[in-house]
């Protein structure tokens, strides 16, 4: 009977996607970039002026647009979201001989950024409601391994200092921020937000990116807004922002002609060319969020009373940016995931599973971890659906607004 149900589930899923996609050309991408504002003008301006590279006025403008959207005082533009996270961790005090508590259920960049600081990712479980780090699992883990010493909190099993907690706002859905901050504050461990997917998402009316000591955003081509490739570090802390700027621009002391560098640093600058694109994209953020919200509502309607799965929806207190829409298969239907992915992709709908969890990848297989049963379960139940904003623009061929 399971095979019959899987067949029926596949047919209904394809039916609903056909309704959603009516009038839209195939294949239907998972998430397409969209350039419908001043992109050409601003990019042409960088070419006309010759300011295409690491200096130029669009960089500062983009930085302040992103900081403002995140409700914080400072933004520093960098080459991508991974480098943004790495530098944010570094200035927050993460480095060799330390550990960072983070979800296993995330894109590989989170764990890589932690590793590149010299620290060890330590995996904790997520909650079903947000797919983000579970405050209870985090507290349980800290109770089990944490040891308070005068120099800070240590993992008594490995002897390493626990230097940060990195929550990830999955698909633009905020984590349980209050729950997380209560645990982080009680153990006095700084929070570095991986807000790569969270631009424009709100928790209790406050934007993602504003909760951590420091946070990282991504403007990769598949994110809600894009600079082609790019990232921004945001923080309210002026000193941290200054250090991020210095360390991502080769740590050169300002001087008319001398080359004095005072640290081993990086060239993680965002070119002015990309920042120009970013300025035009940021001007479209309110419109993009409104259309993404409309698309999320359409998905909710289409999958109401859907037998075998439910739309992954916002938690109370949250207004997500709806970057990616997803369905969660009923627990007993998890076995149907791959058949559904095969059938939808063959039919021209680019659906995707959630990432393989970090602890299942060879390079992170032996890393410290708590119980990851929710992570393991949800991996087999989540399917991401085509989520480009333009899908909200027509309904049965009729323009929407």
Ligand X SMILES: *Cc1c(COP(=O)(O)O)cnc(C)c1O
Q: Which is nearer to ligand X, 10 or 80 (CB)?
A: 80
Question: Please, which residues have CB within 8 angstroms of residue 18's CB and are 6 or more apart in sequence?
Answer: none
Note whether 370 binds ligand X by CB under 6 A. Answer: no
Candidates 65, 82, 201, 226: give the one binding ligand X (CB under 6 A). Answer: 82
Residues 46 and 388: their CA atoms lie apart, in Å, by 28
Q: For residue 188, is it left (φ>0), alpha (ψ between -120 and 50) or beta?
A: left
Burial of 3 (0-12, 13-18, 19+ CB in 10 A): exposed
Omega into 48 within 30° of 0, i.e. cis?
A: no
Q: Which is nearer to ligand X, 153 or 202 (CB)?
A: 202
Residues 101 and 94: their CA atoms lie apart, in Å, by 11
Which residue is at the shortest CB distance from ligand X?
81
Task: Report, in Å, the least distance between residue 143 CB and ligand X.
Answer: 27
Nearest CA-CA partner of 226 in 22, 66, 53? 66
Task: Report, in Å, the least distance between residue 109 CB and ligand X.
Answer: 4
Binders in 42-81 for ligand X, by CB under 6 A: 80-81
Candidates 9, 168, 276, 280: give the one binding ligand X (CB under 6 A). Answer: 168
Four-point Cα dihedral 122, 126, 130, 134, nearest 10: -80
Binders in 178-217 for ligand X, by CB under 6 A: 194, 196-197
Q: Which is nearer to ligand X, 107 or 187 (CB)?
A: 107
Segment interacting with ligand X, rule: CB under 6 A, options 67-75, 104-112, 299-307, 386-394: 104-112
Number of residues engaging ligand X in binding (CB under 6 A): 14
Candidates 65, 201, 218, 322: give the one binding ligand X (CB under 6 A). Answer: 218
Segment interacting with ligand X, rule: CB under 6 A, options 36-44, 102-110, 155-163, 235-243: 102-110
Residue in this structure with the two tokens 């600081």, named with its chain if needed: 117
Task: Report, in Å, the least distance between residue 41 CB and ligand X.
Answer: 25
Binding map of ligand X across residues 267-286, x = CB under 6 A, - = no contact: --------------------
Task: Report, in Å, the least distance between residue 217 CB and ligand X.
Answer: 8
* CB-CB contact of 326 with 351 (8 Å): no
Note whether 220 binds ligand X by CB under 6 A. Answer: yes
Task: Report, in Å, the least distance between residue 247 CB and ligand X.
Answer: 17
Local structure of 380: helix, strand or coil:
coil
DSSP 331: G
Residues 397 and 254: their CA atoms lie apart, in Å, by 57
Task: Report, in Å, the least distance between residue 196 CB and ligand X.
Answer: 3
Task: Report, in Å, the least distance between residue 110 CB and ligand X.
Answer: 5
Question: Please, which residues have CB within 8 angstroms of residue 271's CB and are 6 or more apart in sequence?
Answer: 52, 53, 54
State both tokens at 83: 């480098």
Candidates 33, 103, 209, 231: give the one binding ligand X (CB under 6 A). Answer: 231
State both tokens at 200: 């424009």
Residues 316 and 240: their CA atoms lie apart, in Å, by 32
Note whether 321 binds ligand X by CB under 6 A. Answer: no
Task: Report, in Å, the least distance between residue 116 CB and ligand X.
Answer: 12
Residues 123 and 140: their CA atoms lie apart, in Å, by 13
Question: Please, which residues have CB within 8 angstroms of residue 258's CB and are 6 or more apart in sequence?
Answer: none
Question: Please, which residues have CB within 8 angstroms of residue 347's CB and are 6 or more apart in sequence?
Answer: 14, 17
Task: Report, in Å, the least distance between residue 281 CB and ligand X.
Answer: 14
Q: Which is nearer to ligand X, 104 or 110 (CB)?
A: 110
Residues facing 78 on adjacent strands? 231, 269
Candidates 10, 110, 227, 388: give the one binding ligand X (CB under 6 A). Answer: 110
Candidates 109, 225, 289, 343: give the one binding ligand X (CB under 6 A). Answer: 109
Note whether 322 binds ligand X by CB under 6 A. Answer: no
Exposure letters 23-38 (e unless 16+ CB within 10 A, then b): eeeeebebbbbbeebb
Phi, psi of 209 (to 5 degrees): 100, -15
Q: Which is nearer to ligand X, 145 or 326 (CB)?
A: 326
Task: Report, in Å, the least distance between residue 214 CB and ligand X.
Answer: 15
Note whether 105 binds ligand X by CB under 6 A. Answer: no
Q: Which residues are near ligand X by CB under 6 A?
A: 80-82, 106-107, 109-110, 168, 194, 196-197, 218, 220, 231
């Amino acid at each position: 009977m399971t095979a019959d149900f899987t067949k029926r589930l596949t047919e209904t899923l394809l039916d609903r996607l056909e309704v959603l996609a009516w009038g839209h050309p195939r294949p239907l991408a998972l998430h397409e970039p969209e350039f419908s504002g001043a992109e050409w003008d601003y990019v042409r301006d960088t070419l006309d002026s010759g300011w295409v590279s690491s200096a130029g006025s669009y960089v500062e403008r983009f930085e302040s647009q992103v900081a403002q959207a995140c409700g914080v005082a400072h933004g520093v533009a960098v080459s991508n979201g991974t480098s943004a996270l790495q530098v944010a961790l570094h200035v927050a005090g993460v480095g060799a001989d330390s550990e960072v508590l983070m979800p296993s259920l995330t894109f590989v960049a989170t764990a890589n950024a932690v590793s590149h600081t010299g620290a060890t990712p330590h995996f904790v479980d997520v909650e079903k409601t947000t797919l983000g780090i579970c405050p209870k699992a985090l507290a349980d883990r800290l109770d089990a391994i944490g040891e308070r010493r005068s120099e800070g909190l240590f993992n008594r099993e490995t002897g390493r200092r626990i230097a940060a907690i990195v929550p990830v706002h999955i698909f633009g859905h905020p984590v349980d921020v209050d729950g997380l901050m209560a645990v982080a504050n009680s153990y006095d461990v700084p929070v570095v937000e991986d807000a790569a997917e969270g631009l424009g998402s709100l928790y209790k009316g406050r934007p993602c990116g504003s909760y951590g000591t420091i946070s990282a955003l991504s403007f990769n081509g598949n994110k809600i807004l894009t600079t082609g490739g790019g990232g921004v570090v945001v923080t309210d802390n002026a000193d941290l922002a200054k250090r991020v700027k210095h360390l991502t621009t080769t740590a050169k002391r300002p001087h008319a002609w001398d080359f004095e560098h005072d640290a081993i640093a990086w060239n993680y600058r965002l070119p002015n060319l990309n920042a120009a694109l970013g300025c035009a994209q940021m001007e479209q953020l309110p419109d993009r969020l409104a259309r993404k919200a409309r698309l999320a509502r359409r998905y909710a309607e289409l999958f109401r009373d859907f037998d075998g799965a439910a739309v992954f929806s916002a938690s109370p207190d949250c207004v997500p940016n709806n970057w990616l829409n997803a369905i969660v298969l009923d627990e007993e239907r998890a076995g149907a995931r791959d058949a559904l992915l095969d059938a939808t992709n063959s039919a021209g709908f680019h659906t995707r599973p959630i990432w393989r969890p970090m602890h299942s990848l060879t390079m992170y297989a032996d890393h410290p971890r708590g119980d990851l049963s929710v992570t393991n379960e949800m991996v087999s139940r989540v399917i991401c659906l085509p989520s480009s904003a333009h899908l909200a623009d027509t309904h049965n061929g009729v323009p929407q607004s």
